[in-house]
Structure 1
Amino acid sequence: MHSENKQHTPMTALTLGALGVVFGDIGTSPLYALKECFHASHGLAITHDNVLGILSLIFWSITLVVSIKYVAFIMRADNNGEGGIMALLALSLRNKQVTPLQNLLLVSVGLFGAALFFGDGIITPAISVLSAVEGLKLVTPVFEPYVIPITIAVLVTLFVIQRHGTSSVGKLFGPVMLVWFSTLAVLGISNISQYPAVLQLINPLWAIEFISNHTFIAFVTLGAVVLTITGGEALYADMGHFGRKPINYAWFGLVLPALVLNYCGQGALLLTHPEAVENPFYQLAPSWFILPLIILATLATVIASQAVISGVFSIARQAMQLGYLPRFEVLHTSAKEIGQIYIPVLNWILLASIIILVLMFKSSSNLASAYGIAVTMTMICDTFLAAFVAITIWGWSKKLTLLVAVPLLLTDLAFFGATSLKFLQGGWFPVLIGISVFTIMLTWKQGREILFAKLNSETMPLNLFVNSIGAGSIQTIEGTAVFMTGTHASVPHALLHNIKHNKILHERNILLTLHTKDIPVVDAQDRLKIEQISPSFWLITGFYGFKEQPDVPELLALCKPHQLEFDMMDTSFFLSRERLIPRLEGKIAPWRELLFVAMSRNAASATDFFHIPTNRVVELGTQIEL
């Protein structure tokens, strides 16, 4: 569906759309990044050499990490056109020669990178909106007590409208961001004219000299420089929505020049008016333009936040499909776009976490301490997985891969080292979120594997069962029974319980299994596999990509050309509902057993998740001791 939409959409429209969705996070970095580089705690004087050194560090960081690493290298790793760390993980596992140890390492790296994105999804809206609203203090100090309440009001509004979808508002994203980046460029140019020497930032010698003269301070400052590249990973994550070319055109055609010009303008302002260090971004503008700029900046940060929130929903849905998270209620907010979804539980958890974060840290400067560490850890995970894909999927030699990946990895590690210095000042927050989500995902995956093994040990092989039924004398009734099952190798528990308690068998019995493949979207011709194993038993397997939402009635409707037609009013769906009893001495730690049981009890029902008509469902319970 994605590719069809992209093929029929003009390149200009795709580029404008990419401008609105992909670059919000990195595009709002000028609001706070350079200010943090000259934060009083760094003790860095505002001199010609220092400003040029910092600007050069910013320019080459953006060039190395965004332009070279993501645009030129990692965006080559597209999984059927899709990007993002879950797509990269699925791609890296496609090689059948992967050893169990490599598989464990790859899954751990991929899941941890995805888990860290949840931490980023909490911090980005908080720091972006707060930094935009803080501009009100420049209009008049009277606004200062209202900065946090206004920030929270904007954030609450943003999360309340999530359930209505972003398709209608999304049409405004591109034009608003076009105005935003154009404004960044104009503000930068108007100030560069006062100190044109700042354009020397493209000379890496300024960065090298700055590092050699202020080695420790330069290392600490990298923790603020990293703020200029946060959002770089979004170029890869959103590739599936727009394709590589529109993202490249938007990046090199407008976003990169606008960002560089704006940072140069801020540098020129600091050299001519050092007192502007308190908020150099807003002081680029003439006084009459500050209020309109605050409104525009707030809109831009809301758009940046929206893109991150959509990304969190998308990764959560992919993790559900791949079996790393329990089922949540997923609502589709657009009939045309598969990627526009809304997960109510996650929406309110994110909002509560962001409000707590704003109240805890109170200012964008304080939040800057928490920002960066999760992003740099995610970037390390991206580099590691992309290098593995280069060797195993693209066929690169190990020497070539090392030549490309090692400098990128060293850059990532330098940024991670610098941001880790801020661990106690707030960096612990995204790491805590990442570790918590990683633990949840790993516990769910391992818990389900233990549960399936337990269920399979208490059933019988399917072929043996079907043969014994044929020779038996169980009463057959009219109608169709559909049994959801994880495997066609053994008999579903719901079928065994139905025979045990009701002592009947339907004239048509469908054993339905749904498989998630390691590709984003499965082609229509590969959706279905049907096999009849006896006069009254059929095996149906439905295949879905990790970005798709299974729909059982829709799947069964596809069976008609295969001489298998379903009348929903004559079809009953039999589902097993397991009541889990923790043993507290099983294969995983007791607290993880309890966590798995709690998640199982709170997961959305299969009926809702697979869109099965509720009035046609029969649930048969069983008690399982883990």
Structure 2
Amino acid sequence: MTETKDNSHLKSNEKNKELDMDLENRHYEIQKTFGFVGNLILAFKTIGVIYGDIGTSPLYVFTSIFPDPPTDPRDVYGTLSLIIWSLAIVPFLKYVFIILRADDNGEGGTFALYSLLSRHSGLPIRGGNNDDLTIANFDSMSIHSSKEKPNFIKRSKLVQRVLLVLVLFGTALVLSDGLLTPAISVLSAVEGITIPAPSLTNATVPISCLIMVCLFLAQRTSRLAILFAPIVGLWFISLASVGIWNISQYPSILKAINPYYSFEYFIRNGSSSFQVLGGVLLAITGVEALFADLGHFNRISIQISFTLFAFPALSLAYLGQGARLVLDPAVSENTFWLTLPATNGPIYWIVFILATLATIIASQAMICATFSLVRQAMQLDCFPLLKIKHISKKIEGAIYIPEINYILLGIILIIVIAFEHSSNLTIAYGVAVASVMLISTMLYAIVICVVFDLPVIVAVVFFLVFGFIDAAFLGSTLLKVKSGGWFTLSISVLLLLIMLIWRWGTTLKLKYELRNKTKLDDIFANNFSEQEAQESNSDDSGQTDEILQTIEGQKSKNIRLRLLGTGFPVNRLPGIGLFYKEAGMGVPLSFCHFIRHFPTVPEILIFITIRPIPVPLVGEEDRLVVKKVGNYEKVYQVTGRYGYTEDISQGEEFIRKVITAICEIDPKAETILENLKNEVVTYVIGHQKLVAHSNSPWWERAFLETYSFLVENSRQIYANWEIPVDNIIEVGMKISI
């Protein structure tokens, strides 16, 4: 359980090698047992989770690009070529075959990239000891030892801050994108009803709102998830089938696969062609899901499903729509629905039902991704604490956050009512997508140098190639800021400010506790036995010297404590007491404050730190670090370590594990384990309130007021810890900043 600081890195490296071999053996056995068929099954499951957003883009892409009928067929060829090659370069090449390699023990997303960079730079996510970076779960990558030369991230505080802001801004952009995805997807599908029934045009908004309300009310259950892959799979088959039928009407459209038409479009139209990239970008929305949802599947399954299923189906769909646009430019009014084989037959209504279900699933996937991102941000002290509910016993990542669910529902309903038509929403859509694509490119370029340890020129080439493409898309979408793109940018900036202020306030409290940490020797005078305590109570003046002389001989007895200075005895009552602290060694501020008012402590006294660390998951062998505090009887220091995708659990099972770990280093505690069910467990948690000095600058006062407001309106830190409320004691303190 415990290791010395000098040899922790050596033992960790040895353990990492053993785990690497074990992982290789397990992967070999899995491949041997299931082989390609097993990966195909997993690839099929990815269809219902990852491709909902990008798979429903054909509903509105061409309508956004051509609000008016195209007058020149070459424009159709040019934009279609841009769409095909954008799909090939960004999702297919950049994400599926390059960025997916930067997984963090199987997890993906911007937080995974941040985790990799933090670990390989020797930086903990929160304050504390860097020996947390040597745990066995870092088996997939090596880490920096304290003796190694620090990299540029480790050396520069400015770089660390910029890196954190980039990651948080990327997260904020994805969250703001989650507001538009359900709205534009469902609206564009419901609008299909207006082609065979024009009289229902005014009903599209109420119907869309009703679907949204039902969707968000159904977030409490995960039972329908099993149908996602078959439904989205049928949707892709319908896209490919309709695309093939449309291509058969005008086979010459296949020439658009030639990238020449992309360059010819830009040369012929000049600067005005730059704006069309905003519409082309809509064809690749959802690419971040390819990376962010990696933890639910694996790299090979995503590569198989996109290469063999999603990419061909999408390409055929866009080629088919392009073919019909050349033959009849008037279909640009509602390209997808007007290019179906019949506008009022059974095929039309089958596709309509599939489109509606697929957009609902796309919205569901975005909502679930929002829940996951918020939970990860909370674990990293970057978001106010909210209540998390688990809605599935089998799926670990199936969570539900009530506050976020209803906030999303309210904002999305406002968006649907305000914009009315999907064509209006496409104006605001895309700014967040292009921004987070560029941020991912920047982070991955740094990963190439820091994590993969490749030459700098490789990172430079990667950034120049894909950064140029991302910047072109972003520049085009920024032209739409005045027309509606301001909405997603405003939401993103607001979320970023909330996360930065929360992180800032939490860090202030953390630093305050680290600066003011103390030891038990600064609180208690010495240990002395229960018998001597009784004697000292009857005759304090005559027994003090004698007690001090016999301390060493009494360490094996039932020990009691007395306060330093006053000599007042501190009673030890039966039970287990957990005093929580923010980080670091030493005594929690809550304990210091508590003991001054109530000189009574439980028999088993545990000072516990909950430490998030930069890995997705922490194995049980690395969960706890337990140490005995000096010569004090039954007083222990415990550190509980959790990955950024894990839920912190401090319930009955956790207490049993803690006591079991204590028994391994202190045999005297074995009797507690035997009678654990009868022990009273008390959780003592500090509640610090930040208060500004009278001479603090105005901006600091404003930040503190905002942080205090967020604290007052968020859940308590223990709300998601599975702790019985009746066993909690809060100790309030004011911290002057």
**TM-superposition CA deviations, 1:72-106 (whole Å, max 9, x none):** 21111000010011111111222223221221111
Count, aligned residues: 619
AA aligned opposite 1:372? G
**TM-superposition CA deviations, 1:98-140 (whole Å, max 9, x none):** 2212211111111100111111010100100011001111021
Deviation at 1:283, TM superposition (A): 1.8
Deviation at 1:505, TM superposition (A): 2.2
Deviation at 1:466, TM superposition (A): 5.8
Aligned counterpart in structure 2 of residue 600 of structure 1, from 711, 731, 734: 711
The answer (yes or no) to whether the contact 1:330–1:609 under 8 Å persists in 2 is: yes
Any residues of structure 2 matched to 1:452-601 within 5 Å, and which?
452-457=510-515, 460-462=518-520, 464-465=522-523, 470=561, 472=563, 473-533=569-629, 534-553=632-651, 554-562=653-661, 563=663, 565=673, 566-567=676-677, 569-583=679-693, 586=696, 589-601=700-712
State the SS of the aligned residue for 1:329. coil
State the SS of the aligned residue for 2:719. helix
**Which segment is superposed worse, 125-134 or 526-535?**
526-535
AA aligned opposite 2:682? S
Aligned counterpart in structure 1 of residue 77 of structure 2, from 40, 48, 52: 52
Any residues of structure 2 matched to 1:249-398 within 5 Å, and which?
249-285=304-340, 286-287=342-343, 288=345, 289-398=347-456
> What is the alpha-carbon distance in structure 2 between the residues aligned to residue 584 and residue 522 of structure 1?
44
The answer (yes or no) to whether the contact 2:648–2:721 under 8 Å persists in 1 is: yes
Gaps of 5+ in 2: 1-22, 122-150, 528-560, 564-568, 664-668
What does residue 14 of structure 2 align with?
A: none
> What is the alpha-carbon distance in structure 1 between the residues aligned to residue 513 and residue 447 of structure 2?
36
**TM-superposition CA deviations, 1:166-224 (whole Å, max 9, x none):** 2x211000000110000000000001011111111221101000110012232010010
Deviation at 1:582, TM superposition (A): 4.7
AA aligned opposite 2:105? N
The answer (yes or no) to whether the contact 2:510–2:583 under 8 Å persists in 1 is: no
Deviation at 1:20, TM superposition (A): 0.3
AA aligned opposite 2:315? V
**Which segment is superposed worse, 181-190 or 264-273?**
264-273
> What is the alpha-carbon distance in structure 2 between the residues aligned to residue 516 and residue 568 of structure 1?
31
1:224 aligns with 2:279: yes
Aligned counterpart in structure 2 of residue 25 of structure 1, from 53, 58, 64: 53
> What is the alpha-carbon distance in structure 1 between the residues aligned to residue 515 and residue 314 of structure 2?
60
1:245 aligns with 2:300: yes
AA aligned opposite 2:428? A
1:78 aligns with 2:103: yes
> What is the alpha-carbon distance in structure 1 between the residues aligned to residue 524 and residue 696 of structure 2?
33
Deviation at 1:49, TM superposition (A): 1.3
Aligned counterpart in structure 1 of residue 246 of structure 2, from 191, 210, 215: 191
What does residue 147 of structure 1 align with?
A: 204
**TM-superposition CA deviations, 1:276-318 (whole Å, max 9, x none):** 1111111222120222222211100011111111111111100
Deviation at 1:405, TM superposition (A): 2.2
Deviation at 1:376, TM superposition (A): 0.4
The answer (yes or no) to whether the contact 1:462–1:488 under 8 Å persists in 2 is: no
> What is the alpha-carbon distance in structure 2 between the residues aligned to residue 233 and residue 105 of structure 1?
21
AA aligned opposite 2:289? A
The ranges of structure 1 where at least 4 consecutive aligned residues each deviate by more than 4 angstroms after the TM superposition are 3-9, 455-459, 466-472, 582-585
**TM-superposition CA deviations, 1:458-495 (whole Å, max 9, x none):** 55345544665656432222222111111343322321
The answer (yes or no) to whether the contact 1:582–1:597 under 8 Å persists in 2 is: no
Rg (Cα) greater in structure: 2
> What is the alpha-carbon distance in structure 1 between the residues aligned to residue 594 and residue 101 of structure 2?
51
The answer (yes or no) to whether the contact 2:509–2:688 under 8 Å persists in 1 is: no
The answer (yes or no) to whether the contact 1:374–1:431 under 8 Å persists in 2 is: yes
> What is the alpha-carbon distance in structure 2 between the residues aligned to residue 560 and residue 459 of structure 1?
25
Deviation at 1:404, TM superposition (A): 2.1
> What is the alpha-carbon distance in structure 1 between the residues aligned to residue 86 and residue 298 of structure 2?
24
State the SS of the aligned residue for 2:97. helix
What does residue 17 of structure 2 align with?
A: none
Question: RMSD value over aligned CA atoms?
Answer: 2.0
State the SS of the aligned residue for 2:608. strand
| Distance change >3 Å, CA 585–CA 229, structure 1 → 2 | farther
AA aligned opposite 1:213? R
> What is the alpha-carbon distance in structure 1 between the residues aligned to residue 335 and residue 584 of structure 2?
64
AA aligned opposite 2:173? L
| Distance change >3 Å, CA 467–CA 305, structure 1 → 2 | farther
Any residues of structure 2 matched to 1:397-476 within 5 Å, and which?
397-457=455-515, 460-462=518-520, 464-465=522-523, 470=561, 472=563, 473-476=569-572
AA aligned opposite 1:79? D
> What is the alpha-carbon distance in structure 2 between the residues aligned to residue 550 and residue 394 of structure 1?
31
1:209 aligns with 2:264: yes
State the SS of the aligned residue for 2:98. helix
Deviation at 1:56, TM superposition (A): 0.4
The answer (yes or no) to whether the contact 2:577–2:605 under 8 Å persists in 1 is: yes
What does residue 110 of structure 1 align with?
A: 167
State the SS of the aligned residue for 2:636. strand
What does residue 618 of structure 1 align with?
A: 729
The answer (yes or no) to whether the contact 1:584–1:590 under 8 Å persists in 2 is: no
Gaps of 5+ in 1: none
> Matched residues, percent identical?
35
> What is the alpha-carbon distance in structure 1 between the residues aligned to residue 421 and residue 110 of structure 2?
30
State the SS of the aligned residue for 1:603. coil
AA aligned opposite 1:597? S
| Distance change >3 Å, CA 514–CA 204, structure 1 → 2 | same
The answer (yes or no) to whether the contact 2:324–2:339 under 8 Å persists in 1 is: yes
State the SS of the aligned residue for 1:238. helix
What does residue 544 of structure 2 align with?
A: none
The answer (yes or no) to whether the contact 1:581–1:597 under 8 Å persists in 2 is: no
What does residue 228 of structure 2 align with?
A: 173
**Which segment is superposed worse, 314-323 or 99-108?**
99-108
State the SS of the aligned residue for 2:625. strand
What does residue 95 of structure 1 align with?
A: 120
The answer (yes or no) to whether the contact 1:139–1:290 under 8 Å persists in 2 is: no
| Distance change >3 Å, CA 16–CA 462, structure 1 → 2 | farther
- TM-score where L is the length of structure 2: 0.81
State the SS of the aligned residue for 1:279. helix
The answer (yes or no) to whether the contact 1:184–1:261 under 8 Å persists in 2 is: yes
> What is the alpha-carbon distance in structure 2 between the residues aligned to residue 557 and residue 401 of structure 1?
48
